[in-house]
């Protein structure tokens, strides 16, 4: 996530950068090649994220001072878990904040999951009832 809302002019400026795949008023999607090159420069050359982004033609005041650091941290995690292929696919918003599906679990795993969910909900209800009694 970048520093905030971009104006239409700022979006157009960002889209002129060849390292930007797409851009909206709320977010920037970077090209996978840029992501891989950034990780490589960080590890092999020891360059800080902000320097890498400046060399790539980004205005740090426009995208946000902490954006390069956050991006690199996120990309390194993805690269470590899924390699270059993980950086090639856009995964933001794919889960929708929901937990993984129960469909692919075995019956025993489903039972454990549902028992844990029931225990959590009971504890939550207990907490809320105690909270209501205090007020």
pLDDT-derived band at 21 (thresholds 50, 70, 90) equals: very high
Residues 28 and 80 in one domain: yes
Residues 117 and 80 in one domain: no
Residues 108 and 70 in one domain: no
Question: pLDDT for 27-84, tens place per residue?
Answer: 999 999 999 999 999 999 999 999 999 999 999 999 999 999 999 999 999 999 888 8
- Residue 95, helix vs strand vs coil: coil
Domain of residue 130: give its range: 99-135
CA torsion through residues 69, 75, 79, 80, sign:
positive
User: Mean per-residue pLDDT for 96-121?
Assistant: 80
Residues 12 and 75 in one domain: yes
Q: Is 64 left (phi over 0), alpha (psi -120 to 50) or beta?
A: left
What predicted TM-score, i.e. pTM, was given to this entire model? 0.64
pLDDT surpasses 60 at 96: no
Place of tokens 């157009």: 12
H or E element that contains 29:
strand 28-30
Evaluate whether residue 93 is within a structural domain.
no
């Amino acid at each position: 996530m970048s520093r905030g809302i971009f104006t239409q002019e700022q979006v157009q400026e960002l889209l002129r950068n060849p390292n930007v795949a797409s851009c909206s008023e709320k977010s920037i999607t970077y090209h996978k090649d840029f992501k891989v090159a950034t990780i490589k420069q960080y590890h092999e050359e020891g360059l800080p994220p902000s320097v890498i982004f400046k060399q790539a033609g980004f205005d740090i005041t426009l995208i946000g001072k902490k954006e390069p650091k956050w991006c690199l941290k996120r990309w390194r995690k993805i690269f470590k878990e899924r390699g270059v292929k993980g950086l090639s696919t856009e995964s933001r918003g794919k889960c929708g904040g929901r937990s993984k599906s129960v469909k692919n679990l075995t019956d025993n795993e489903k039972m454990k999951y549902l028992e844990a969910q029931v225990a959590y909900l009971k504890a939550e209800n207990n907490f809320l009832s105690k909270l209501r009694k205090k007020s």
